[in-house]
Structure 1
Amino acid sequence: MTRSGARGQGTPPTAVPRRVRRALRRSATVLASLILTVSGAGYLYTEHLNGNIEKGERSSGDSKARRSGANAAGQRPLNILLIGSDSRASAANAELGGGRDTRGNPPLGDVQMLIHVAADRRSAAVVSVPRDTRVDIPRCTDPATGETHPATNGIINTSLARGGAGCTLATWEKLTGVYIDHWMTIDFAGVVTMADAVGGVEVCVNQNVWDRPLPGVPGGSGLKMTAGTHGVEGEQALQWLRTRHAWGSDVLRTRAQRMYMNSMIRTLRDQNVFTDTGRLTDLAEAATKSLTVSEEIGSVRKLYDLAMQLRTVPPERITMTTLPTTADPQDRNHLVATGAEAERMWTMLRDDVPFDGAGATTAPREAADGDEEDRGDGAEPAGPAAPDAEIDVRVRNATGSATLGPVNGRAGDIARSLRAKGFARAAADTSGAPAAERTVVRYADAGSEGDALRVAKSLGVPASSVERSAGVTGVTVVVGADWREGTAYPQRPASGAGDLPRDADALNGSETAACMDVYGPYRW
Structure 2
Amino acid sequence: MAQSEVRGEAPAVEDTMPLTARTTDAPARSGRRGGGRRAGGPKTDRRRRRRRVLRWSATVLAVVILGTAGAGYLYYRHLNGNIQKGARANGDDSKAHRTAPNAAGQTPLNILLIGSDSRNSKENLKLGGSRDHVGDPPLADVQMLIHLSADRKSAAMVSIPRDTRVDIPKCTDPETGKVYPATNDIINVTLGRGGAGCTLLTWENLTGVYIDHWMTIDFAGVVKMADAVGGVEVCVKQNVWDHSTPSQRGGSGLKLKAGRQKVYGETALQWLRTRHAWGSDLMRARAQHMYLNSMIRTLKQQNVFTDTGRLMDLAEAATKSLKVSEEIGTVKKLYDLGMQMKSVPADRITSVTMPNVPDPADPNNHVVPDAAKADRMWQMLQDDVPFDKNGGKSGSKKGAGKEESAKKPSVDAARLGVLVQNATRTTTEAAVRQRASAISQVLVQKGYGRAQADVSGSLAEDRTVVRYPSADLEGDAQAVAKALGIPMSAVQKSTDVSGVTVVVGADWRSGSAYPKKSEPKAGDLPEGTDAVNGSDKSTCMDVYKPYQWS
Q: Give the TM-score normalised by the residue count of structure 2.
A: 0.81
Residues 445/196 of structure 1: CA separation in 2 closer, same or farther (3 Å cut) = farther
Aligned-partner residue type, residue 92 of structure 1: E
**Paired residue for 1:229?**
260
1:201 partnered with 2:232: yes
1:218 partnered with 2:249: yes
Work out whether residues 370 and 383 of structure 1, in 8 Å CA contact, stay in contact via their aligned partners in 2. Answer: no
Residues 434/335 of structure 1: CA separation in 2 closer, same or farther (3 Å cut) = farther
Q: How does 1:377-388 map to 2 (within 5 A)?
A: 386-387=410-411, 388=413
**Paired residue for 2:78?**
48
1:143 partnered with 2:143: no
Residue of structure 2 aligned with 1:504, choices 514, 518, 529? 529
SS at match of 1:502: coil
**Paired residue for 1:337?**
369
Aligned equivalents of 1:75, 1:260: Cα separation in 2:
30
Residue of structure 2 aligned with 1:350, choices 379, 382, 393? 382
Work out whether residues 240 and 277 of structure 2, in 8 Å CA contact, stay in contact via their aligned partners in 1. Answer: yes
Aligned equivalents of 1:137, 1:475: Cα separation in 2:
25
SS at match of 1:178: coil
1:444 deviates by 5.1
1:361 partnered with 2:386: no
SS at match of 1:319: strand
1:370 deviates by 12
1:322 partnered with 2:353: yes
Residues 449/210 of structure 1: CA separation in 2 closer, same or farther (3 Å cut) = farther
Work out whether residues 329 and 403 of structure 1, in 8 Å CA contact, stay in contact via their aligned partners in 2. Answer: yes
1:371 deviates by 11
Moved more, 472-481 or 167-176: 472-481
1:115 partnered with 2:140: no
Aligned equivalents of 1:371, 1:295: Cα separation in 2:
35
1:514 partnered with 2:539: yes
Aligned-partner residue type, residue 78 of structure 2: H
Residues 150/346 of structure 1: CA separation in 2 closer, same or farther (3 Å cut) = same
After superposition, what is the alpha-carbon deviation per residue over 1:153-197, rounded to whole angstroms, capped at 9, x for unaligned?
Answer: 221111112221111111111111111111111011111111111
Residues 275/431 of structure 1: CA separation in 2 closer, same or farther (3 Å cut) = farther
Residues 134/444 of structure 1: CA separation in 2 closer, same or farther (3 Å cut) = farther
Work out whether residues 149 and 394 of structure 2, in 8 Å CA contact, stay in contact via their aligned partners in 1. Answer: no
Aligned equivalents of 2:496, 2:193: Cα separation in 1:
17
Residues 313/492 of structure 1: CA separation in 2 closer, same or farther (3 Å cut) = same
SS at match of 2:509: coil
Residue of structure 2 aligned with 1:245, choices 264, 268, 276? 276
Aligned-partner residue type, residue 180 of structure 2: H
* Matched residues, number: 481
Aligned equivalents of 1:431, 1:446: Cα separation in 2:
26
Work out whether residues 151 and 395 of structure 2, in 8 Å CA contact, stay in contact via their aligned partners in 1. Answer: no
After superposition, what is the alpha-carbon deviation per residue over 1:12-37, rounded to whole angstroms, capped at 9, x for unaligned?
Answer: xx799xxxxxxxxxxxxxxxxxx9xx
Q: How does 1:175-190 map to 2 (within 5 A)?
A: 175-190=206-221
Give the number of the structure whose alpha-carbon radius of gyration is greater. Answer: 1
SS at match of 2:72: helix
1:452 deviates by 4.3
Work out whether residues 66 and 367 of structure 1, in 8 Å CA contact, stay in contact via their aligned partners in 2. Answer: no
Residues 367/164 of structure 1: CA separation in 2 closer, same or farther (3 Å cut) = farther
1:449 deviates by 5.6
SS at match of 2:282: helix
1:476 deviates by 3.5
SS at match of 1:114: strand
Aligned-partner residue type, residue 338 of structure 1: D
1:484 partnered with 2:518: no
SS at match of 1:145: coil
Aligned equivalents of 1:464, 1:93: Cα separation in 2:
44
Residue of structure 2 aligned with 1:412, choices 437, 462, 466? 437
Residues 265/181 of structure 1: CA separation in 2 closer, same or farther (3 Å cut) = same
After superposition, what is the alpha-carbon deviation per residue over 1:97-152, rounded to whole angstroms, capped at 9, x for unaligned?
Answer: 10211111111111111111111111111111111111221221111111222222
Work out whether residues 328 and 336 of structure 1, in 8 Å CA contact, stay in contact via their aligned partners in 2. Answer: yes
1:393 deviates by 3.2
Work out whether residues 66 and 464 of structure 1, in 8 Å CA contact, stay in contact via their aligned partners in 2. Answer: no
Residue of structure 2 aligned with 1:291, choices 306, 312, 322? 322
Aligned equivalents of 2:173, 2:305: Cα separation in 1:
37
**Paired residue for 1:160?**
191
Q: How does 1:52-131 map to 2 (within 5 A)?
A: 52-61=82-91, 62-131=93-162
SS at match of 2:244: coil
**Paired residue for 1:3?**
none
After superposition, what is the alpha-carbon deviation per residue over 1:473-507, rounded to whole angstroms, capped at 9, x for unaligned?
Answer: 43443322211112232121111111011211110
After superposition, what is the alpha-carbon deviation per residue over 1:292-340, rounded to whole angstroms, capped at 9, x for unaligned?
Answer: 1111111000101111111111101111111111111111111111112
Residues 510/274 of structure 1: CA separation in 2 closer, same or farther (3 Å cut) = farther
Alignment identity in percent? 64
Work out whether residues 163 and 186 of structure 2, in 8 Å CA contact, stay in contact via their aligned partners in 1. Answer: yes
Aligned equivalents of 2:96, 2:236: Cα separation in 1:
40
Q: Which runs of 5+ in 2 are unaligned?
A: 1-32, 36-55, 61-70
Residues 236/170 of structure 1: CA separation in 2 closer, same or farther (3 Å cut) = same
SS at match of 1:331: coil
